[in-house]
Amino acid sequence: MKKIIALFLSSFIWLGTIQAQETQYMVFEFIKVESDQLFDYIEYKDLMEKVYRQALNDGQINGWDFWSLQSGGDDSDFQHIMVTYYDDPVKMMNGMDEEAMIQYTKIAYPHLTEVQIAKMFQEALNMRDMPMRLYMKEIVCTKDEFVMKPGVLASFDLMKAREGRFNEYEKAEMEVFKPIHQNRIEQGLMGHWSFLKTALPQGSQAKSTHLTMNMYKDYMQFFNGQAYEDMNQDEAQRKAVNEGLNSRDQKWVYLATLENVVR
């Protein structure tokens, strides 16, 4: 396992050197909280917004989002998604450990004692379950001026490339689906789209290999976007779309509302 992680890091460091600041690395944490503890956890994530802002100011992260889920494969699976953004794979893999979180909490909340901070973290860890964490690299995204702010919507679509069609699927997303989403953005039917590849976990047993993020400024734009149909596609374009769809399995679709954001 250590050899696999080392190989992954070395390849990602090389790519990061070439692409400099253009590439984003993200950690997606799917969170489950028991219904009787949701109110307490809402208080906790509001505290975390200030903590992650300190990490942003310190250059440890590029951003942080906290999303509330409206739908999924099973409504009881997760209630929230946290996304932390990094500018290189080493920072992503090291992440924000408990010691660093406590130090940033001390800066954000100087009136709290160490005992109070330790108690707050322990209570938060006890109330949440994190059944899935994904380490991802953004491959491509649309050109837009979308502003991330509380209230925007996102569709998180987890995909799994079919066996033997990994490269074919990635090519379809970049060459077929990206232009479609870019056209929707230019028509005001979408805010932003990005395509990501799973770095970890990997292997045949991994639940997904890729993820697409579809952003909308509000429900009006979301529903207008869902009703959109490109009637100007020719036969070759329709064939390319169908081949792209057949090269992957859409595992789950999660619709979420942005509650907290740090940029």
For residue 249, the domain's CATH number is 3.30.70.100
Residue 132 CA to residue 81 CA, distance in Å, equals: 10
Specify the pLDDT at position 195. Answer: 97
Residue 15 pLDDT > 90: no
Within-domain flag for 167: yes
Q: Is the backbone of residue 20 left (phi > 0), alpha (psi -120 to 50) or beta? A: left
For residue 122, pLDDT beyond 60 = yes
Q: For the chain, how many structural domains are there in total? A: 2
Within-domain flag for 3:
no
Four-residue CA torsion sign, 201, 6, 66, 51: positive
**Residues 193 and 212: beta-carbon distance below 8 Å:** yes
d(CA 2, CA 14) in angstroms, rounded, equals 18
In a domain, 250, yes or no: yes
Identity (one letter) of the amino acid at 234? D
Neighbouring CB atoms inside 10 A of 48's CB total 21
Is there a domain that residue 4 lies in? no
Q: What is the pLDDT of residue 71?
A: 56
Same domain, 224 and 179: yes
Last residue of a domain, one of 110, 133, 156: 133
pLDDT band at residue 86 under the 50/70/90 scheme: very high
Is residue 64 over pLDDT 90? Answer: yes
Helices and strands in the chain, H and E counts? 9, 8
Contact partners, residue 198, CB within 8 Å, separation at least 6: 134, 135, 136, 206, 208, 209, 210, 211
The residue with tokens 């380490």 is 135
Which range is least confidently modeled, 11-15, 86-90, 143-147, 214-218?
11-15
For residues 128 and 159, membership in a common domain is answered with no
Q: Which residue has the higher pLDDT, 114 or 63?
A: 63
User: In this prediction, what percent of the chain has a pLDDT beyond 70?
Assistant: 84
pLDDT for 3 equals 46
Distance, in Å, from the CA atom of 248 to the CA atom of 209, rounded to the nearest integer, reads 9
Q: How confident is the model at residue 175 (pLDDT cuts 50, 70, 90)?
A: very high
Q: What average pLDDT score do residues 164-169 get? A: 92
- On whether residue 156 sits in a domain, the answer given is yes
If you average pLDDT over every residue of the chain, what do you get?
83
Instruction: State whether 201 and 153 are in the same domain.
Output: yes
Where in the sequence is the domain holding 196, given as residue range(s)?
A: 138-261
Q: Which of 133, 163, 184 is the last residue in one of the domains?
A: 133
- Return the CA Rg of the chain: 19
Considering the domain architecture, whether residues 116 and 175 belong to the same structural domain is answered as no
> What pLDDT does residue 82 have?
92
Query: Is 51 a residue whose pLDDT tops 70?
Result: yes
Domain assignment present for 12: no
